[in-house]
């Protein structure tokens, strides 16, 4: 027989429970994240769910989750997503269950990232391949650190890290293309060397693919051609430099792969609608 939340969780003052997964954030807090381990016997039941979204990612051990009326086991690499006001029933199924979690109120632009099969009517589950697990965990742990950091914009930093985690999870939705480790390596190579030679032929050598094959698989994975992706990354990095530093625009241009600062300015204006100097005046 199903127990109540009060039966399953540790009571706390004011009627709320003391368990990390049941702590409500401040009204203005967009994300509340953490990591913990529970032993055999831990379980939670919330018939009416919560007002926020809940992401649970299994680090080790095993748990169970009610998905559409079926009890599904979760193991390392499994992620579960609960939409607001969706019944939540989950717990430890073995000796222990180690997990990371995030309660959050998403940005509007995240809607496509939250369209997991089954969300809205029940919990939804995604199994993450071994290639993406370290990157996903890095993003989640950054979210955990930043959500409680003593920074003026800690909530925004935490949300950015959570968005990165959701993007990694998005590559493993059944409706999305499976992540190719070679393409992942190319994307990381681009981010790590924006000043370098990033033409399609050079990137193809990184992936050990032909240029045409790389273009096909890369576009299928990211929805952008390799060169569109390169320019987006360069402009995003330039955006960050202009917002957060007082470095000369010519130096920023070189750091993101443009030897000609005038050409950089033209490309930047195409992406942002204003010149780099105008952008800095507005946002710097």
Count of domains in the chain? 2
**Domain span including residue 194:** 181-283
pTM of this prediction? 0.58
Residue 174 inside a domain? The answer is no
The mean of the pLDDT values for the chain is 84
Which of these three, 128, 155, 190, is where a domain ends? 128
Residue 122 inside a domain? The answer is yes
CA distance linking residue 278 with residue 274, whole number of Å: 6
Task: Give the number of other CB atoms < 10 A from CB of residue 117.
Answer: 11
CA distance linking residue 118 with residue 127, whole number of Å: 14
Q: How confident is the model at residue 121 (pLDDT cuts 50, 70, 90)?
A: low
195, 257 contact by CB (below 8 A): yes
pLDDT average, residue stretch 56-78: 91
Q: Which one has a higher pLDDT value, 36 or 173?
A: 36
155, 29 contact by CB (below 8 A): yes
Q: How confident is the model at residue 187 (pLDDT cuts 50, 70, 90)?
A: confident
pLDDT of 105 strictly over 70? yes
Do 31 and 115 share a structural domain?
yes
Do 196 and 118 share a structural domain?
no
Do 94 and 33 share a structural domain?
yes
Task: Give 283's contacts (C-beta < 8 A, 6+ positions apart).
Answer: 242, 243
């Amino acid at each position: 027989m199903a127990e109540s939340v009060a039966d399953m969780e540790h009571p706390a003052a004011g009627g709320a429970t003391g368990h990390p997964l049941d702590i409500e954030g401040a009204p203005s807090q967009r994300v509340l994240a953490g990591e913990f381990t529970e032993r055999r016997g831990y379980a939670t039941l919330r018939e009416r769910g919560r007002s926020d979204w809940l992401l649970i990612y299994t680090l080790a051990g095993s748990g169970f989750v009610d998905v559409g009326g079926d009890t599904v086991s979760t193991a390392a690499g499994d992620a579960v997503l609960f939409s607001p006001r969706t019944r939540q029933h989950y717990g430890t199924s073995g000796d222990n269950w180690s997990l990371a979690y995030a309660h959050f109120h998403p940005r509007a632009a995240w809607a496509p990232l939250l369209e997991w099969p089954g969300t809205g009517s029940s919990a939804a589950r995604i199994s993450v391949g071994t290639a993406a697990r370290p990157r996903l965990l890095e993003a989640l742990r950054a979210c955990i650190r930043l959500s409680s950091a003593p920074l003026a914009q800690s909530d925004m930093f935490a949300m950015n890290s959570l968005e990165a985690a959701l993007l990694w999870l998005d590559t493993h939705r059944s409706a999305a293309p499976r992540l190719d480790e070679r393409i992942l390596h190319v994307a990381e190579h681009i981010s790590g060397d924006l000043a370098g030679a990033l033409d399609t032929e050079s990137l193809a050598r990184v992936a050990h693919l032909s240029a045409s094959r790389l273009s096909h698989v890369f576009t299928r994975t990211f929805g952008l051609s390799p060169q569109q992706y390169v320019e987006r990354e360069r402009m995003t990095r330039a955006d960050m430099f202009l917002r957060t530093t007082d470095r000369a625009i010519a130096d920023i241009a070189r750091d993101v792969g443009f030897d000609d600062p005038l050409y950089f300015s033209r490309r930047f204006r195409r992406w942002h609608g204003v010149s780099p100097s105008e952008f800095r005046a507005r946002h710097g």
